[in-house]
């Protein structure tokens, strides 16, 4: 009799152990399923972020310097400094409503407005006036910036060359100056923003219901390399020392915009009603995407400049869709 009882106890222990091992194996498999779903979600989110940033990033290379339509002639020369800021909006409402498997986009705090400071050096020189071409000048620009504010890292470099041709010269009997500007600009850069992310949800895998906890730091990084060819018509009229100018232009863009959304932290699964069946482990998950910049950007330009013989001081603004830039400019003309 005692022998039967002992064998029964041993059999029960083996049964319990087998069930426990099977349950743990199920949790381990479902933990891997949860990880894969999160990775898929992050790919969806990175695709949206990259596409949403494509318009404001495509707007950047062609910004500035915004100047009146008065073209230099040989041996004219000028140097200047522009200090500006570009601002673009992200549709955070659309981001929060993205369809995902387990990640809740609304729990990831992304900025609604991306503001980018844009300091820039520029110079122009008059070219020889030819019978067919007329008065023309050539200019270059260079801007670079790298900074870190709280949990945002940002750096970029932009440079360009511009050729301006005078169509109409300003004067007492003239309605104003008109020029046509052809430019090539290139911009490379990177922006990275990090946010704490913690989200608890109830998920089902393989017929089991779990409390799923993601406790991590999420970040998105976007890198871009954009080439832009621009054509702009500029009009200006000078009255005394005040020079008003307006312009409209179009940019044709090419290049790459690559976005990576990643999270580093801990993923924990606990079976509902059976807290002993739990698994917690570290995760390093990323989703990547690549897209093209906006192929064509139409921009409007306007500003005013106060000018003495050598020293000129101006303010200007640019607008394209929901993106805009404002800048102050100082230049010395020789």
Task: With residue 31 as reference, give the H or E element that holds it.
Answer: helix 2-59
Q: What is the pLDDT of residue 8?
A: 44
> What does DSSP assign to residue 294?
P
Question: For 69, phi and psi rounded to 5 degrees?
Answer: -80, 5
Q: What is the pLDDT of residue 25?
A: 61
Q: Which residues pair with 225 in a beta bridge?
A: 188, 256
Q: What is the pLDDT of residue 15?
A: 37
Instruction: Name the token pair of 132.
Output: 């067919």
Full pLDDT tens readout for the chain, 334 residues:
544 444 343 344 333 344 444 454 678 888 998 889 888 888 888 888 888 888 899 999 999 899 999 999 989 999 999 999 999 888 888 888 888 888 878 777 777 888 889 999 999 999 998 777 789 999 999 999 998 877 788 899 999 999 999 999 998 888 999 999 999 999 999 988 887 888 888 888 888 899 999 888 888 899 999 999 999 999 999 999 999 999 999 999 999 999 888 889 999 999 888 888 899 999 888 888 889 999 999 999 999 999 888 899 999 999 998 899 999 999 999 8
What's the number of domains the chain is made of?
1
Q: Over the range 16-38, which residues count as b (16 or more CB within 10 Å of their CB) and which as e?
A: eeeeeeeeeebbeebbebbbebb
Q: Is the alpha carbon torsion for 158, 159, 165, 171 positive or negative?
A: positive
Q: Which residues pair with 299 in a beta bridge?
A: 249
Q: What is the pLDDT of residue 172?
A: 82
Instruction: Name the token pair of 263.
Output: 């999270």
Task: With residue 122 as reference, give the H or E element that holds it.
Answer: strand 113-126
The pLDDT tens digits of the residues spanning 296-328 come to: 999 999 999 998 888 999 999 999 988 999 999
Q: How far apart are CA 271 and CA 29, in angstroms?
A: 13
Q: Which residues pair with 141 in a beta bridge?
A: 122, 160
Decide: 77 and 334 in contact? Cβ < 8 Å.
yes
Q: What is the pLDDT of residue 180?
A: 97
Q: What is the pLDDT of residue 19?
A: 42
Q: Which residues pair with 307 in a beta bridge?
A: 312
> What does DSSP assign to residue 173?
T
Decide: helix, strand or coil at residue 273. Answer: coil
Query: What is the DSSP secondary-structure string of 11-26?
Result: HHHHHHHHHHHHHHHH
Question: For 193, phi and psi rounded to 5 degrees?
Answer: -125, 130
Q: How far apart are CA 54 and CA 61, in angstroms?
A: 12
Nearest 5°: the CA angle 261, 262, 265 is 155
Decide: 171 and 94 in contact? Cβ < 8 Å.
no
Q: How far apart are CA 243 and CA 238, in angstroms?
A: 4
CA distances from residue 176 to 64, 234, 246, 304, 308 in whole angstroms, order as listed: 21, 10, 11, 14, 18
Give residue 141's domain range: 2-333
Q: For residue 113, give the CATH number of its domain.
A: 2.40.128
The pLDDT tens digits of the residues spanning 46-90 come to: 888 888 888 899 999 999 899 999 999 989 999 999 999 999 888
């Amino acid at each position: 009799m005692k022998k039967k009882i002992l064998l029964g106890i041993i059999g029960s222990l083996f049964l319990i152990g087998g069930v426990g091992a099977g349950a743990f194996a199920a949790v381990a498999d479902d933990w891997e399923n949860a990880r894969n779903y999160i990775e898929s979600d992050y790919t969806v989110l990175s695709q949206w972020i990259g596409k949403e940033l494509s318009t404001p990033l495509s707007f950047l290379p062609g910004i500035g310097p915004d100047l009146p339509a008065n073209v230099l002639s040989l041996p004219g020369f000028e140097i200047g400094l522009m200090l500006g800021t570009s601002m673009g909006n992200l549709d955070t409402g659309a981001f929060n409503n993205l369809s995902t498997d387990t990640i809740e986009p609304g729990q990831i705090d992304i900025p609604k407005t991306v503001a980018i400071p844009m300091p820039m050096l520029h110079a122009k020189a008059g070219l020889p006036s030819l019978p067919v071409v007329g008065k023309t000048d050539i200019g270059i620009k260079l801007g670079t910036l790298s900074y870190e504010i709280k949990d945002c890292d940002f750096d970029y470099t932009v440079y360009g060359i511009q050729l301006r041709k005078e169509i109409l010269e300003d004067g007492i009997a003239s309605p104003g100056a008109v020029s046509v500007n052809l430019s090539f600009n290139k911009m490379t850069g990177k922006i990275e923003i990090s946010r704490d992310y913690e989200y608890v949800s109830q998920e089902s895998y393989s017929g089991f219901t779990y409390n799923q906890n993601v406790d991590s730091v999420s970040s998105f990084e976007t890198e871009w390399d954009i080439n832009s060819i621009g054509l702009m018509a500029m009009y200006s009229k000078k009255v005394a020392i005040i020079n008003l100018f307006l312009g409209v232009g179009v940019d044709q863009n090419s290049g790459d915009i690559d976005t990576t959304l990643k999270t580093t932290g801990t993923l924990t699964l606990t079976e509902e009603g059976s807290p002993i069946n739990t698994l917690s482990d570290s995760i390093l998950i990323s989703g990547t995407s690549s897209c093209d910049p906006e192929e064509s950007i139409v921009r409007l330009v306007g500003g005013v400049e106060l000018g003495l013989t050598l020293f000129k001081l101006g303010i200007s603004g640019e607008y394209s869709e929901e993106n805009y830039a404002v800048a102050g400019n100082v230049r010395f003309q020789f």
